[in-house]
Structures are given as structure tokens and as C-alpha cells.
Amino acid sequence: MDQGPGKARVNRRQFLKLLGTVGAAAAAAPLLPSLLTKVGVVAAQGSADESAPRRQWAMVFDLRKCEGCVTTDKPPQCIEGCNTEHFVPKGQEWIRVFEMEGAAGHASFFPRPCMQCENPPCVNVCPVGATYRTEEGITLINHERCIGCRMCMAACPYGVRVFNWGDPENPAGATFASYSPQYPVPHRRGTVEKCMLCAHRVKDGKLPACAEACPMYAIYLGDFTQDIATNGKEVVKLSTFLADHSAFRLKEDLGTRPRVWYIPGHGQEYGHDINETRQPKPARTWQELGATLESPHGGHK
Amino acid sequence: MNVQAEARSERLEERVYRPLTHTSRGWYLWLGLLALLTTVGFFAYATQLQKGLASTGMRDTVIWGLYISNFVFFSGVSMAGTFISAILRITGAEWRRPLTRMSELTTVSALLMCGLMPMMDLGRPDRIWHLLRYGRLQSPVVWDILAITTYLTASAIYLYLFLIPDSAALRDRLGGKVSGLRHKVYTLLALGWQGRPEQRRRLERGAAVMMLLIIPIGVTVHSVVSWIFGMTYRAGWNSTIFAPYFAVGALYSGVAMLIVLMFVFRRVYRLEEYFTEKHFRYLGYMLAAFGVLYLYFTFAEYLTVAYKLQGGEKLLLEELLLGRYSLLVWGGFFGGQILPILLVALPWTRTIPVLFAASVLVNIGMWIKRFVIVVPSLSLPQLPYEWGVYTPTWVEMAITAASFGGFALVFTLFTKLFPIISVWEMKEGWEKEGLRALPATAPATGGLAARPALLTSESGGASHE
């Protein structure tokens, strides 16, 4: 343990210490980009002091329960719930549902919101800091600052971001709605849009609109600080839920560290036939669903 | 200075100053055409301002199109001009003398158009000042702005430094022949230049600093342009060699642009005595050298990707080489890379008109290459959704045409105000030559000025090495 002066040998503890330093340095290296963005470091540590963020949001998609709403014969309800909640401009889908072919050749559905990456490429490349990550782990866009260069769209490896190429249609009275990055209404021309995990809803303890609209309860909102997740019907322990079901993240190898997890499946819990070729129906816009500012989900649900 | 040398200087001055005081009808016609192009461009941009980017062919999958392709193209052209002028000056290549002004102007002119393109592409041009107010050094977009403004400033200074003695000459010569305002401008630009030894010393010192600075600055410009793409995860863009790959491509297309411009000015301003066959040949060699280097980079880039056929890279490569971009890719490859190199390499095709044609091919090929770098990688879906399609609209085409018109317009106006050949540097070269080889070798007498320089290729253009 104690080492006499002049002894040049490295003992076990020193060796471990050295290993630890090297390890910490190696672990810190990938953090560098997020360090540069000024946010995310605090979020990653999750310390217990007062100023620490209360939440570390996550989403879990249980693909065993997702069948693209084909058995209900409706368009994917998550998309429609999102459309009406945010008055998503025509031609955009902030959450998309893809039909994927699994390795065994079977059909499965794959809903894709914003991944809320911990190392968000979009935030890294923004020239004006218009897109940023909150301490609670949501990537937001300040539409009053965005200059519309679309560098973030080029950088996003998940194709999440969409653009208002022309003048987006807003609901009546939206001009007077109080805009915030958490609830970006009215929508503006020449700015980038995307899913923001319903920041305006989750802060009040509500589920995101897509999770609330999902008739199969396939979408969970999770919080890593409390280690819980819920789909509105049941509450699960987030860490065990992910581990027990071999949850995965999209394009894990890129090192973006998404906060959105998927539990592998193909809608089997709702009896979705893997050979079924039925496509999800196209989602209706908020106009078609009759959403208004006063009652966003008016004609819906 | 002997009589022959003096006659030579006078001939040069007479030739290059002529466009400054005499304006042909052809010039007005050409100016009218360029004005028309730019007007249509302004109209297109007004339409875009009114309707938003919805008036372009860009949409959510293919988010960048012609504007960004032009941006990369012009930044490439800009890199070569000043870069080559500086390299040739540093290495003391005497044959550079008639070319330097034109190459420096190429940089300034191309950079102006290059910088304009991303502005055309902005969704919110009204918020461009946000870049100053909120600019983040971590963004490749900000790197570009810094690099381009630095290079533009540096190359404008560089162009201007060597313009000081010529401005003084114009001040002394053209008094009374041009309007008072123009004379005042020359006087102002000349900064009291009298050609005194200490003035020369200062100019030389300033020029030496700029020469050394301008090379790394030029390299940064095209490197950071490539990093707009290289800093993303996209197939086709996610490459470590993008910066040198783009830089070599820039030199390749830039040299080609110089040959094209040299050919045009030679014809229009009758500069056969100064832009000789030798200049074409030497720039041709440079073109071929950069071309071969670019081929090597192209090979390295595609081989490493094609060997592994990783996920999206495989899909992209199929579209590029066999799919709907294959005509552009192979056309650009054979027409813009292989054929021009062959045309320079084969001695019997190494003539001025053929070199000009080869350079035009390189320019077209490199523009296509820029387009093929920008658009297909964007149209490749990031997740299993459908491929993006992109068809440019008239708005984008008009603005593109106007940008090329603007590039030409800078030259057209500049050569009305200043000589396209740096007169004092030519004279300096002749003086050097005279000192070295006394008595000065007299060129063949009589009617030489009117004769095409091809026949007496080594006589003109301070071509002594």
C-alpha cells in the first residue's frame, strides 16, 4: 500500500487509479460535442442538488403493441393526435409510421418521433442557436430565431425535421396565440419544425399527444430521474422495462444517444398477422379533423 | 531601356488601356445581355421572397438544390484564382505576369457569387443579421461565413495591392481622357504612388505577407465548404477526405475557369501577344495535374465506399452509378474528368482552341459533380421512406443564370476601369529580363503587334524563365 520514496514501481492502487483516469478521459471524449453546445452536461450527470432538472424525459415505443392502426381500420392515431394538438402544417408529419420489413421478412410498423438525442447533431450544427436542448432532455426550436438555412435538417440522421417552405396555414385566432418554443403556434414560414415531445403537455404531467391518442397504449412517456414510465394505463419501472424487453435505439452506432427506445415486436399483442400487407391509412390533417384553437381535438376522439 | 523594349511597353499599354477609353457596340450588347440576365434573376428572387422557398423545387427530403450546388461550384472557382497567382509569384514563375490580375479578379468575382448563393437559399433572409447577433462558432455554417468573408477581404486587398501602381499610371495617363470622377477614383486608389524606391519596398513587403496568407486562407474556404457536408452522418457526405477532395476539385475547376477566361479575353481584347500558346500549355499542364489528382481522390473515395457497401452507402452508390443519376455521374466522369485530361495529355490535341474546349468541359463536369454531391445524398431516405425527388423550378434556374451573369458582369465592368493585365508587373518583368540578358534580345520587327502571338510564342508576355 504505502510506497517508500524512490520506489519506482507502480502498485495496484495506482494502476487502478491510472486506469480510472484513462477511462474517465475516454468516456469524456464523446461528450465533447455536447460540451460545446453548453447544455446536456448537467443533464447527463443528474446530480441531486436543487438546481438539477426535475425530469429526464424518455419515450418508449412497445412495438409488440403497434400495428399501424390497421386492425382498427383508422389512420395511425398517434399522427392524427399530433396533427390536431400542434396544428401540424399540411404535408408534414412530426411523428411518422413506417412499415418495415423485419429480418425474417415479416411486416412490422415503426413509429418515429424526434429522437431527443443526448448528443443532437441538429443542435451542434445550428449557426444561430435556434435549436437547443433543454436540461430535461427535449430538443426545441426557437422559431423566432431560426434563419431557415436547413443545416439541422441535413444533419439529422433520422429525417425528423421538416420545413415550412411556404406560408403554413394556422388555425383561426392563432396570430394572437402566445408563441413559445414549447408550443410553436402560430407556425411561421421559412422555419424548421419537428416533434418536441409535447413539451407544453409533459411539463403539466400530461402524456404527449401521440401517446394519449394511441388506442393500443404502445407509447410510454418515461422519466429517468424517477425511473418510471407510463402509457396512461400502467406504470412501469423504466430501467427494468427497457432491460427486460431488450429495448433498442435507432442507429445506436452513430453515438447520438437517442432518448427514444423501442421494444422489438410486430404488433403481436393485438394479433397483427405478420403476413398482412395492409398499409397504414394516410393520416388526416388538423383541418380535416376539424381542430380549432379552443378545442384542438374537436372532431377527433 | 532600349528602343525595342520601350516600343514593347507602349504596345502593351496601347492594347490594354484601349478598352478603358474606347467602348465598342459589342460591349454594350454584351452588357445588355448581362443586365437582362441579372434583371430576370432579381425578378425571380422577388418571386421567391413573395412566395417563400415553396417557389423552388426543394422540399422536405431534398432540402438543398441548385443554390447550394452553385455555392460549392463558385467557391471552387474562387479558390484557384488567387491561390495560383500567389503560388506562381512565390515560386517566381515569370510566365505568371500576364495572368495574375485576371486570376485575382476571378477569385473576387467568384467569391461574390459564392457568398450570395446561401443567402438566396435562406428561408428567412430577413433574419440574416441573426448570424451576427447569435452566431455560434460550433456551426459549420458559421465557419463558412468566416472563411468566405476572410478570403474575400484578403483577395480584395491582394487584388488591390497590385493595382496601386497601375492606378497611378492611369491617373497620370488618362487625365482629361476620362470623366473627372473616374480620374479622382484613380487618384484616390493610387495612394500617391510615384514608384519611389521606398514605396516599392513597402508594396513588396505588403504583397509578400498577403501572398503567404492567401494560400492557407484559400484552402480553408473550400475545406469548410466541404465540411458543411462532411459534418453530417449522411451517406456520400460522411467522409474524412472531403476537405482535400474538395480543395483539389476546386483547383481543377478553377484552373479550367482561368483557361476559359484567358481564351475569352485574348479574343475580345486582342491580347494574343500576352496570353500566348505557352500560357495555355502551362495552365493546361496544371489542369491535367490537378485532374489526375482529382481522379485519384475520386477513386479513393468511391472504392472505400463500394468495397464495404454499408447500409445507405450501397443504396446511394446504386443510384449514382446505375440508377437515375448515372447519366450525370458517368457523363461528368468521362466528359469532365477523363476526356479533358486526355486532351491535354495528347500532344496533337494540345492547341489553344482544344484546351479551351477541354476547360469548358471541366467546368460543366465540375458543376455536375457539385450537383451530384449535393442532391443524391439528400434524396436518399434516412429511414425506410420513399426517395426524394428534386426538379429545379424556373426561379432557381433564373437565379443560377443570374449568378453566372453576375460573375461575368464583374469582369465586364472591371475591365472597363482597369487593365486586365498588370502593366507595371509586365514592365518589371521586362526590366528584369533586360538586366539578365544584356543586350536585350530584340523581337522581330514590323507588324508584330498585329501578328498572332502563336507564331512568335516566346517573344511576348514576359515569357523569359
User: Nearest to residue B432, comparing CAs of B93, B82, B13, B146?
Assistant: B93
Q: Quick: pLDDT tens for A91-121.
A: 999 999 988 777 677 778 889 999 999 999 9
State whether A127 and B136 contact (CB < 8 Å): yes
Candidates A229, A202, A201, A233; CA nearest to A216 is A233
What's residue B326's pLDDT? 95
**Residue A71 in this model has a pLDDT that exceeds 60:** yes
Residue B244 Cα distances to B72, B115, B249, angstroms:
14, 21, 8
Percent of residues, chain B, with pLDDT higher than 70 = 93
Q: What is the mean pLDDT of residues A124-143?
A: 96
Contact across the interface for A167 and B52, Cβ inside 8 Å: yes
A99 CB neighbours in chain B (<8 A) are 384
Cα gap A288→A204, rounded to integer Å: 28
Calpha distance B274→B84 (Å, rounded): 18
Residue B261 has pLDDT above 50, yes or no: yes
* Mean pLDDT over each residue of chain B, to the nearest integer: 90
Phi, psi (5° rounding) for residue B175? Answer: -55, 130
CA distance B287 to chain A (A): 33
Distance from CA of B367 to the nearest CA of A (A): 21
Q: Determine whether B401 is exposed, middle or buried from the number of CB atoms within 10 Å of its CB (0-12, 13-18, 19+).
A: middle
- Reported as a pLDDT band with limits 50, 70 and 90, residue A85 is very high
The DSSP string of B24-56 is: -HHHHHHHHHHHHHHHHHHHHHHHHHHHGGGGS
Nearby residues of A197 by Cβ (< 8 Å), 6 or more positions away? A57, A59, A113, A114, A116, A138, A208
Asked if B261 and B275 touch (Cβ cutoff 8 Å), the reply is no
Integer Cα distance of B417 and B73 in angstroms: 27
Residue closest to B461 by CA, chosen among B438, B435, B443, B436: B443
Residue ranges of domains in chain B: 3-431
Which SS3 state, helix, strand or coil, does residue A131 take? strand
Interface size between A and B, measured as CB pairs under 8 A: 135
Separation between Cα atoms, residue A98 and residue A93, nearest integer Å: 12
Closest CA to B293 of B339, B347, B330, B250: B250
Cα–Cα dist B68/B72, whole Å:
6
Averaged over A254-263, what is the pLDDT?
96
Cα separation of A226 and B29, whole Å? 75
Q: Supply the pLDDT for residue B71.
A: 97
Distance from CA of A33 to the nearest CA of B (A): 9
Q: Does A163 sit within 8 Å of B385, measured CB to CB?
A: no
| Per-residue confidence (pLDDT) for residue A55, from 0 to 100 | 92
- Identify the CATH assignment for B3-431 out of 1.10.357.10, 1.20.1630.10, 3.40.50.300, 1.10.260.40: 1.20.1630.10
Angle at B288 between CA B286 and CA B289, to 5 degrees: 65
Query: Is there a contact between A98 and B123 if contact means CB atoms under 8 Å apart?
Result: no
Tell me: the pLDDT tens digits for B153-164? Answer: 999 999 999 999
The single residue listed with the C-alpha cell 473627372 is B180
Q: Is the pLDDT of residue B452 over 50?
A: no
Sign of CA dihedral B197, B201, B202, B204: positive
User: Which residue of chain B is at minimal alpha-carbon distance from A162?
Assistant: B60
User: Which of B127, B132, B228, B231 to mutate to test binding with chain A, by most A CBs within 10 Å of its CB?
Assistant: B127
- pLDDT band for position B463 (50/70/90)? very low
CB contact under 8 A, A147 and B51: no
CA atoms B330, B336, B337, B342: torsion sign: positive
Tens-place pLDDT, residues A178-229: 899 999 999 999 999 999 999 999 999 999 999 999 999 999 999 999 999 9
Interface test with A, best of B119, B128, B130 (most A CBs within 10 A): B130
What residues form DSSP beta bridges with A111?
Answer: A97
C-alpha cell at B369: 459533380
pLDDT of residue B214: 92
Cis bond before residue B439 (omega within 30° of 0): yes
Share of chain A above pLDDT 70, in %: 80
Q: Grid coordinates standing for B451?
A: 501578328
**What is the distance in angstroms between the Cα of B380 and the nearest Cα belonging to chain A?**
10
In B, which residues are within 8 Å of A125 by CB distance? 138-141, 231-232
- Which residues of chain A make contact with B127, given a CB cutoff of 8 A? 145-148
Report yes or no: B57 and B200 within 8 Å, Cβ to Cβ. Answer: no
Contacts of A98 in chain B (CB under 8 A): 383-385
Which ipTM value was assigned to this complex? Answer: 0.87
Report the top-level CATH class of A57-270: alpha beta
Using alpha carbons, list the distances in angstroms from residue B56 to B67, B392, B420: 10, 6, 37
Other Cβ atoms closer than 10 A to B213: 15
CB burial of residue B438 (10 Å; 0-12, 13-18, 19+) = exposed
